[in-house]
Structure 1
Amino acid sequence: MELCLKVIPNRSKYAQIKRCYCEKGHDGRCEEFPYLKHLAHHFKQVANKIKRDATKTTGAAWKSENAGPNRIDRWVMLLSDEELEQYGIKMMALKQTVVAKLREKAASYEDCMAVAAKLTWIVYQMLDAPEAPENIKKHLEACFGKFQAGATKCIVCKMPLSFRSFSQAKRGRAKIETAHMNPRIHNANNVGFAHRECNIAQGDKTLDEFYTWIAQILERVQSSTS
């Protein structure tokens, strides 16, 4: 699908161009997330999660200068330390572990937009998911392929995921989370959803590293009990 990609005015303090991701030649106004309109209207929590997870770094649980910026655009973290200081972000003043984490979450604007669309495509294929309007379905299928009802699985344990899990979050803890096959890469080919427990268990390992680690544990357990 050929996209519009016209520049959309935005109020961000960072010098970043935002673009329209409607189909080229579309009617009506330009929109950055046209495929989220249905979810935003009927399931706002889910739409907001997709936008946030696709475009923002993870948020600190506390507010302090040492914790670094809280939920900042991922593409901003591609700027140099000198450029960031112009926006009041003093990377040199942060702990190296914080800097490393922020830099690890960096991704281009284009990759973030692709992730948002991919996550939306995945959501509509969950068990119990709402039916996507035909225009949104057409848009997402043109980008990523045909929908398969109930096809979405946890990228870690491979068990099916239900759309209802989004509404079962308790005290800010989601039942399912956005996950990465390689935690250090944020693009459409590397993202999916996982049970919170599975995502925590994977940690900073790639999926291949995680499966190898688990296999080694099971092998040692079996050896010790035989």
Structure 2
Amino acid sequence: MTEHRYSDAERAALYRAIYERRDMRHFLPDPVEPELLRRLLDAAHHAPSVGFMQPWRFIQITAHDLRARLHALVEQERRRTAKALHEREDEFMKLKVEGILDCAVLMVAALCDRREKAVFGRRTLPEMDLASLACAIQNLWLAARAEGLGMGWVSLFEPEDVKQLLAMPEDSHPVAILCLGHVERFYDKPMLEEAHWAQRMPLDDLLFENRWNGRAANV
């Protein structure tokens, strides 16, 4: 046992947040205290980033007209996605895919501008800035769950439309619309699993050893 290990209670709380985190679509209108929101964003800001570039930017949407226009953009893409799913179109349209009009806090998570200047760790893998932003979003998600708040990640939108709507720099890039707020309850399972859209894959099917599809024997 390493001396750096957390206590049993601390470790249990961490794993609980991981396993009980959900992509939420249903929210209550109760406001989120500014101090709590700041604490969650600070947790996001302490995520790891390649080359310590900290590429995340969070735009809080407080104007009602912008919230409505973002919702319209998402609805437009939702219908396009449904068409692209062909035989699953009707099934998809029955799903609730966002809580933009209901959540207390609405944010757009984006990659910063002038990203091409960050070379450390990105010369051969330029997408590592996206991986870094994803880590920040995950930090925010887990901290929100520990605080009893729900969060949903919405990716149904045309990035260029969102950039124009929010007057973002040309070389920035919106990645997620984040819905955050109080919820009546957390889903027992991921909502898409509850809706029989997909099932969690067995971990052993995703673990390889030494080569692709080489079955891992010791994990």
Q: Larger RCO: Structure 1 or Structure 2 (Cα < 8 Å, ≥ 6 residues apart)?
A: 2
- TM-score computed with the length of structure 2 as normaliser: 0.24
- TM-score computed with the length of structure 1 as normaliser: 0.24
